[in-house]
Every structure is written in C-alpha cells, then in structure tokens.
Amino acid sequence: MLRGSCAYNPARISRPRGTDLVKPAKPTKTAAKRAPKPTRAATQPVAAPPAAAKPVAAKPAAAKPAAPKRTARAKPAAQSIAAQSPTAKPALIETLADDENFALRSLQQTHAAAPRYAASDEELLHFDEPMVLIRRVEEKAGQLYGLGLIGGFCHLYIGQEAVAVGLQSALVGGKDTVITGYRDHGHMLAYGIDPKIIMSELTGRQSGISHGKGGSMHMFSVDHGFYGGHGIVGAQVSLGAGLAFAHKYRDDGGVCLAYFGDGAANQGQVYESFNMASLWKLPIVFVIENNGYAMGTAVKRSSAETHFYRRGTAFRIPGMDVNGMDVLEVRQAAEVALDHVRKGNGPVLLELNTYRYRGHSMSDPAKYRSREEVQEMREKHDPIEGAKTELLARGVAEDKIKEIDKRIRGLVSEAADFAESSPQPDPSELYTDVLVERY
Amino acid sequence: MAVDLKMPALSPTMEEGKLARWLVKEGDTVRSGDILAEIETDKATMEFEAVDEGTIGKILVPEGTEGVKVGAVIAVIEGEDGDAAPAPAPAAAPAAPEPEAPVARKADTGTTQLVTDAKPAQDAAIPFGTNMQTITVRDALRDAMAEEMRRDGRVFVMGEEVAEYQGAYKVTQGLLEEFGPRRVIDTPITEYGFAGIGTGAAMGGLRPVIEFMTFNFAMQAIDHIINSAAKTNYMSGGQMRCPVVFRGPNGAASRVGAQHSQNYASWYAHVPGLVVIAPYDASDAKGLLKAAIRSEDPVVFLENELVYGRSFELPELDDHVLPIGKARIVREGSDVTIVSYSIGVGLALQAAEELAGEGIDAEVIDLRTLRPLDREAILTSLAKTNRVVVAEEGWPVCSIASEVIAICMEDGFDDLDAPVLRVCNEDVPLPYAANLEKAALIDVPRIVATVKKVCNR
C-alpha cells in the first residue's frame, strides 16, 4: 500500500532547495548526480489568482509561494509528485504579505540563494570523518545488540549522519548547548565525545558516560554542553527551550540546538515551547529531523502539515527546508540559522529531510516501507558517499579517504573491545546519584 | 421596599473582609452596575457593585471596618417608592434572620472544618529567646523567595500570573516590583511547556522556582517533574543536576469541585529522585522553602490554599533555613502519636486538645518533608506511645498514611500495642455540594474517634 502511495517522498531530499522561491540553484556536481525534482509544494496545477501573481516577481521577500493549504491537506498522499508536470507553477498565497516585519521564508530565501557551505577540501574531510565514525559505531552497536551485549531499545542513526555533523560543526564549543531525543549516539559522536565511553554506556558498563545507569537513550555530557539523551518523545524540546532560557538569562551568547523527529513534532509541548521561545526571543534552533517515519507511521499518515518547517508559522518562527543528506547544505543552513538567532531575533525552525536506513529501533521489522525505498536512498542519497564523491571530484587523493576509514575502523573496534572488557557497575552504584544531597 | 446590602463573598475562601471604602453616601441614587464600595479580601481589593436600583438608605458598616463577616448587612437600599423607613439597625430589619443564614451555611462547608485555630508548639530548633513576629503563611513564602532571590542571582520565579497580577493567590506579591520582569516571569497558560522550560533551565545551571497556580494543573506537567527532573541525576551518573523547585497550593480548596481539589502528596512522594515538602505553619513554610531553593535536588513544594491566610509565629532570624527530611514534634504527648502533615497538622492538634480533655495525652508529629520521610521520628514516637494514628487530608488508598503504616509494621511492630489506623478523606472525588463536601473531608471528630479506638476508649 505504501509503496505506490508515496508514503515517504525521497524527492524532498534530492530536490534542489528553494526552487519554488527563487531561481533554481546551480546544480553542483554532487547534486547533479541525484534525480532532479522540480518541487514538492504543488500537488496539482492550480490557476494562480492573477492578483497574487504579481508580488512574486516584484517582491519575492513578502510573497510566499506554496500550494493552497486546502489542496495540500485534502489530498496529501494521493498524487505522486514525480508524476506532476515540472512546469506546473506553484500556487500563491499571501498570508503574510500584509506583515512585512515577519517573513516566514526570509531565511529560506537566504539559504536557497547559497545553499551549500563553501568548504575547503580539508573541511570536507573533517565533515567526512565524524560521519564515518557515526556510521561505523552504529553498525558495531547493531552487531553488539545482536550478540546480546546491548539491551533494551537501541535506535541507530545510520543514514542521518549529515544532520548532526553539519549542524554541530557550526556550534561554538564551551558556549552553545545541544539536546536531543533517544536517537542520541550520533549527536554525541558528532560532538567529539569519546566512542569508548559511549560504547561502554551502550553495553551497561561502569566506564560508561552514566556509569551504565542511563543506557542507549539517556546519555549526557555536561562538559561538552550535551544535555541528553531524553527518552520521552518531545520532552527535549521544552527542556531545550529551558537551556536557551538559561543562555538568555545569563546573557552568555550561547545558543541551544534542540533536535527532535517528525514524530515528536506532533507533541503538544513542542508548540507550547515554540510559543514561549518566540514570545521571549530565546536563542534556540529547533531542528526537526524528518526521517519520514515516526516509528512505523509515515509522515503522511500522521501529519496534517507535512512541511514541518512551516510548523512554526503560527508562532512567527521562520522556517527552513533543508536537504539533510548533504552535509554542506546542512552546515550552510546552520550558518544562516545561527546568525539569525545570535542576533537576538529569537528561534529558527529547521526541517532536515533525512532518512534512517535501519528500523526505528533494533526490534523494528520495518514492514511499513519497501526494501526498494531504502535501497534507493542508500544508493542515491547517502551522505557519506555523497561527501566522498565530492572529495574525489575535487581531486582529493582516494588514499586519504581510505586512510580515514581505516583509522575509524580501528577506533571503533578498540571502543567495542574496551566496552566489552570493562566491568559492570559495582552493585553499590544502584544507590548512588538518586539525590545529590543527603538529608 | 428596602433591600439589604450584604457583605459579599468575593473568593472561595473568604469568610470576612475589610470594608475599605464607601463610594456612595446615604441619599445617593444608584443604578445597577454602580460601584458602591471597595472590599479587601484575603487576596485582593475588589469593587462591590450594585445589583438593585434605588437610593442608599442607611450605611450600617462604616468604611475602614475590618473583619466584616460575609453575609452581614452593610447598608440598605430603599426602593423607588421610598416607603421603607431607614433601618435603624440590622437586628430591627424584618429580614434580620436572613443575614445570619448565609453565614451559617458557609460555615457548614467542608473546608471550614479543615481550618483550626490550633498552633503548633515552638520548633525546638529555634534558639530559645529568639524574637518572634506574627506573619501569614502567604507572606512567609513570599519572603522566602525574595530573600533567596537577593542572595542568589540564579534564582528566578516563573508561572502563571506570578508577576503583574501579583500571584493568583498573592504569594508572589511585590516580587515583580523588586526584581523586575527578567526574574519574575509571567508565562502563558501552558503548564507542560513552562515546567519543561524550568527543568531545562535548572539543567542549564539556573535555580528556577516554578509556580503552579495549583497542583491540579501540574498534572499537565507531571512528565517533566518525574521523567525529566527526578531521574536526570541518576541517569546521568551524577553529571547533570536539576535544582528546580515546583511549588503551589495543593489539597482540597473550598467548593471548587473534584478537578480543583486533590492532594498529590503521595503521587510525588512515590518517586525516587524528588524531594517532597509539605509545610503547615509559617515558620516551616519559610525555612523549608529557602532550603528547597538552595537544594541541589528537584523539590516539589506543596502548599495549602486554606492555610495561606493563617498567621503563625515566625522567628526573627537573618537567615531562617530549616533542615529538609526532618519531622517535627508539634505537641508532646505520651499516650498515642498522631502523625500528619500540611493542613492535617492543625486538625491533629485540635483533636489532641479535645482528647486531652478526655484524659488522652496525644503527641502530634508534623512530617514536614514527605520524601525523604523521617522514619526515625515516627518510630521514636511510636516506641514512646505504642499507638499511632495517621491523619491526612487526602485519599486513603496508596497514601502517605499507607506509607507511615507500612513503616510502623516493618520497623516498629514490637512497639505496637494496637493496629495503626488512618483517618483520611473519603475515597471519592471531592463533591461540590456543601454537605457532601463536608462529609467527604477529614475532620477533628473523626480523628478523635479513631484515636480513642486505638486507645481502647
């Protein structure tokens, strides 16, 4: 049922961003490899109201081209985007044209004008390395889970690596803070936290970052400004707003990056937090990692508005729609967002369109999507392969890339060995850290 | 025909008020909607509007009068025909019995039986000879927050109506003026959201005091209190602390029905990782709230709306901070121990006084902190009196009373001369009707009867 009905739309990932806003971005070599898609917005050709056609040409900043909401909502899954005419013009609405102070898509336009971060070869290698590290650690975690060394739930980040790496590479260490949900290993590795203590926590050892008392979903490193690791879907959004509140209260110039998924984006507290964050101009970037599925429920089966970057509109939070499979596009989006937030303008909402290759957790048989869909993403949109292809195209020696891969494999097997040979927590740890003080 | 103007009840807990100012004088013509007077309640100064049209006849209660009972006739409005003679005194008016009636009816509701005049004995921890002042619980709580805010720049207060409105129950009165909007923050009505923001801010190094207008509304936020605040330190192996205080009124309020009247003490006391405090008098309210704000742990601080306006003695100390986790003997006795907390302490003390008249010398323990519970204080008293009754304004099932009874069974069995019994509210949602509310709530006679039972009397 899902296969034919476009339950998840990979086109959103490969579509050159911003084509419905300004002139199409020049395809890079990497982007050119991918299937070009014109737009995701219009689901059917709609005759644009003549009055509304003008502002787009005259005042692109104020107009907001998109499909009329009623059309988009009435038939969210019915039409294949690929099947529509590439020449179909997006319909126009002017919901915000009367309020020039607030342009939801102003950041999107900035981003679309220059969507990819101009990384040097060296920088791109630096992005490649943690992505490979995350991939290999997660693969190893999957193996150890299969061997019974990791228990409970274990949510792998494979496929989504470009998101954490691209965003966190733009943060300022010692100043900014990060918080996320239960799919947290990748974010920790992207923040440079030692894979040994992560692997030890996954296997429930004394040497784990929480002495084995947190596990896969509850890992923290306050020293790194990493505030978890939260198992309740959506809770990290309010908590992240609290971290941002603390930044603003102390006036320390820091920004909080709060990650959550397309599933959490339907939790009520997310919108309570949006409201206060915008009302109080808190320094926070809300990051929706849209991997297409909330557990097994496709976005289109769970969400009336599947364009998550618009979810802040009611709270006057500007949104950006970002290809989460391209680390340079992610990084550039982070630059735009952080610049906006650091200037005291309040929150930004980023939608990172990404994909997880593995199930929701290790116990997920993934019956809700097709093998072909996964395969298509792996083959055509893989963030690590994308980075490698670009490095080679730039003339970076293959040996250099292989050298990184080799080093990381060593690092990961060392981390796994370290974890496996570490002792379990001392039984006395059962009673420690329940409360800080003694009463 | 003349119409009596009666002292209005302007809040659920108001029993009397001050007639602050008359805005009309005798002989004035008034129409419906005209403001007649300003009346100060326990929470705010309210305007009193005319409902009937006519001429102000006699003003019976002059402005500035304090302690005017709700339902008392304060003036008479003459009808258009003006035939009614000015009422010389309320007693002489034909409707004289009527003003008494509402007063009597009000006194008959359930929550009035919860408020007693009984005062606890002075805290043994207060140095002998310390000067004492009289203060309401409400002001004691406010002073605790203000003192901690002066002491520590990380402390801030956040919640619904805490700033410009001066607190829905006036507990945060004056804080905005002193500390400004950066540190006294009105939130939208969004408990889940601001509880999360407060918890996150604590994780981020601040000292939030999060006010719930009442703890009934904290149900919308209990996920953050338990899953986010209580478990963080443990899950992080002691790395990430969460020094937040969630405070607000808890327990039965007056005539507001089931959704606004519940004691959540046992809900929170159930959870490892939380500190739960429920003070009774002003000294404990202040000393323990200051301790809660200084604590490195997340604290649920349960106040009681019906006690806010009550006055108690408070030691005049520069820095009155009390220990968390320590119960207090508020009345010494030798025959039986009554264990209670929060508003139940007043009932227990009142019961003890009545029992004394019947030759039973009851000791009363105020638990003050519900987690960690002071097991030692309970067991020491049990060893002395050999009989225990638990009095709790709350449901009986899985209650604090249940826990105290379990402690007595586990560690005090050999000292027991009788089964430990509990006196709680009835096991029903709190009804609205005055007579049913009265029947549902704990009262002194029930405590007295139960104590007699365990004393074989």
Q: What's the pLDDT tens digit per position in A233-271?
A: 999 999 999 999 999 999 999 999 999 999 999 999 999
The answer to whether the CB atoms of B194 and A435 lie below 8 A apart is no
Q: Are B235 and A218 in contact (CB < 8 Å)?
A: yes
Say if A273 is an interface residue toward chain B (CB within 8 Å).
Answer: yes
Element (H, E) at B211: strand B207-211
Query: pLDDT at position B104, please?
Result: 41
CA distance linking residue B92 with residue A384, whole number of Å: 95
Contact yes or no for A275 and B190 at CB 8 A: yes
- Restricting to A residues 377-416, those with a Cβ less than 8 Å away from any Cβ of B are none
pLDDT band at B81 (very low <50, low <70, confident <90, very high): low
- The rounded distance, in Å, linking the Cα atoms of A401 and B214 is 60
pLDDT at position A34:
41
| Residues of chain B found within 8 Å of residue A436, distances taken between Cβ atoms | 233, 238, 241, 243, 295-297
Protein fold of B3-107: OB fold (Dihydrolipoamide Acetyltransferase, E2P) (2.40.50)
Give the per-residue pLDDT at A104.
65
Residue range A405-416, pLDDT digits in tens: 999 999 999 999
* Residue A103 pLDDT: 55
- pLDDT category, B434, cuts 50, 70, 90? very high
Per-range mean pLDDT, top range of A47-51, A58-62, A408-412: A408-412
**A75-79, A152-156, A224-228, B51-55 — which is least confidently predicted?**
A75-79
Cβ proximity of B322 and B287 under 8 Å: yes
Which one is predicted more confidently, A378 or A25? A378
Q: Does A279 touch chain B (CB under 8 A)?
A: yes
Do the Cβ atoms of A133 and A408 come closer than 8 Å?
A: yes
pLDDT at position B124 is: 85
Report the pLDDT averaged over residues B339-350.
Answer: 98
Closest C-alpha among B452, B437, B453, B418 to residue B105: B437
Q: B203, B297, B368: best mutation site toward chain A, by most A Cβ within 10 Å?
A: B203
In tens, the pLDDT along A382-427 reads 999 999 999 999 999 999 999 999 999 999 999 999 999 999 999 9
pLDDT for B111-133, tens place per residue?
888 988 888 988 888 888 899 99
Q: How many CB atoms lie within 10 A of CB B359?
A: 9
Kindly determine whether residue A242 and residue B201, on different chains, have CB atoms separated by under 8 Å: yes
According to DSSP, residue B251 is labeled B
Structure tokens belonging to residue B290: 């200051």
Looking at the predicted structure, is the pLDDT value of residue B345 above 70? yes
Residues of chain A contacting B223 with CB distance shorter than 8 Å:
232, 235
Amino acid at B412: G
Contact criterion met (CB < 8 Å) for A273 and B187? no
Residues ≥6 apart with Cβ < 8 Å to B371? B268, B269, B271, B274, B275, B276
State the smallest CA–CA distance between residue A259 and chain B in angstroms.
14
Q: How high is the pLDDT of residue B396?
A: 98
- At A109 the pLDDT is 86
A187-226 residues touching B, CB cutoff 8 A: 208-214, 218, 220-223
Position B425 confidence tier, pLDDT thresholds 50, 70, 90: very high
Average pLDDT over every residue of B373-382: 98
Closest C-alpha among B345, B286, B304, B295 to residue B324: B295
Range in A246-250, B18-22, B281-285, B353-357 the model is least confident about: B18-22
pLDDT at residue B229 tops 80: yes
pLDDT of residue A12: 54
**pLDDT 10s digits, A141-184:** 999 999 999 999 899 999 999 999 999 999 999 999 999 999 99
Interchain CB distance below 8 Å, B295 and A242: no
pLDDT at B82 > cutoff 60:
no
Return the residue of A nearest to B296 by Cα: A436
For all residues of chain B together, what is the average pLDDT? Answer: 91
Architecture (CATH level 2) of domain B132-315: 3-Layer(aba) Sandwich (3.40)
CA distance A42 to chain B (A): 34
In B367-429, DSSP assigns E strands to 369-371, 388-391, 421-423
Higher-confidence residue: A412 or A362? A412
* pLDDT top residue among A33 and B308: B308
Q: Provide the pLDDT for residue A361.
A: 85
Looking at residue A62, its pLDDT comes to 36
| pLDDT at residue B84 is higher than 80 | no
Higher model confidence: residue A400 or residue B51?
Answer: A400
What does the pLDDT look like over A201-237, one tens digit per residue? 999 999 999 999 999 999 999 999 999 999 999 999 9
Q: For residue A5, what pLDDT is reported?
A: 36
pLDDT at B8: 87
Topology agreement, domain B112-117+326-454 and domain B132-315:
yes
pLDDT at A397: 95
* Structure ipTM: 0.86
Q: A113-424 is classed in which CATH architecture?
A: 3-Layer(aba) Sandwich (3.40)
Spatial distance between the Cα atoms of B98 and B108, rounded to a whole number of angstroms:
16
Q: Give bridge partners of residue B16 from the DSSP assignment.
A: B69
Q: What percent of chain B has pLDDT over 70?
A: 93
**CB of A281 within 8 Å of any CB in chain B?**
no
Domain segments of chain B as ranges? 3-107, 112-117+326-454, 132-315
pLDDT score, position A362: 82
C-beta neighbour count of A410 within 10 angstroms: 11
Q: pLDDT band for position A101 (50/70/90)?
A: low
Q: In the A/B pair of chains, how many CB contacts fall below 8 A?
A: 158
Helix (H) or strand (E) run with residue B438 in it: helix B434-440
Quote the pLDDT of residue B344.
98
Question: Quick one: pLDDT at residue B14?
Answer: 80
Neighbours of B361 (CB within 10 A): 15
Burial B80-106 (b: 16+ CB within 10 A, else e): eeeebeebeebeebeeeeebeebbeeb
Q: Which residues pair with B331 in a beta bridge?
A: B364
- Could you tell me the residue ranges of all domains in chain A? 113-424
Q: In this structure, what are the phi and psi dihedrals at residue B255, rounded to the nearest 5 degrees?
A: 55, 40
Contact A177/B192, CB-based, under 8 Å? no
Chain B residues near residue A237 by CB distance under 8 angstroms? 196
SS3 for chain A is CCCCCCCCCCHHHHCCCCCCCCCCCCCCHHHHHCCCCCCCCCCCCCCCCHHHHHHHHHCCCCCEECCCHHHHHHCCCCCCCCCCCCCCCCCEECCCCCCCCCCCCHHHHHHHHCCCCCCCHHHHHHHHHHHHHHHHHHHHHHHHHHCCCCCCCCCCCCCCHHHHHHHHCCCCCCCCEEEECCCCHHHHHHCCCCHHHHHHHHCCCCCCCCCCCCCCCCCCEHHHCEEEECCCCCHHHHHHHHHHHHHHHHCCCCCEEEEEECCHHHCHHHHHHHHHHHHCCCCEEEEEEECCEECCEEHHHHCCCCCHHHCCHHHCCCEEEEECCCHHHHHHHHHHHHHHHHHHHCCEEEEEECCCCCCCCCCCCCCCCCHHHHHHHHHHHCHHHHHHHHHHHCCCCHHHHHHHHHHHHHHHHHHHHHHHHCCCCCHHHHHCCCCCCCC
Q: What is the pLDDT of residue B80?
A: 61
Report the run of H or E that residue B351 belongs to, with start and end: helix B344-357
Alpha carbon of residue A364 to chain centroid: 21
Beta strands B45-49; B35-40: pairing state: antiparallel
pLDDT computed for residue A61 by the predictor: 38
| Averaged pLDDT, A7-28 | 44
Question: A293 - beta bridge partners?
Answer: A298
Check: CATH 3.40.50.920 for B112-117+326-454? Answer: yes
- pLDDT value at B439 more than 60: yes
Query: CB distance B206–A179 less than 8 Å?
Result: no
- Residue B400 pLDDT greater than 70, yes or no: yes
Quick check: A237 contacting B, CB < 8 Å? yes
Residue with the bigger pLDDT between A77 and A328: it is: A328
pLDDT at A72: 35
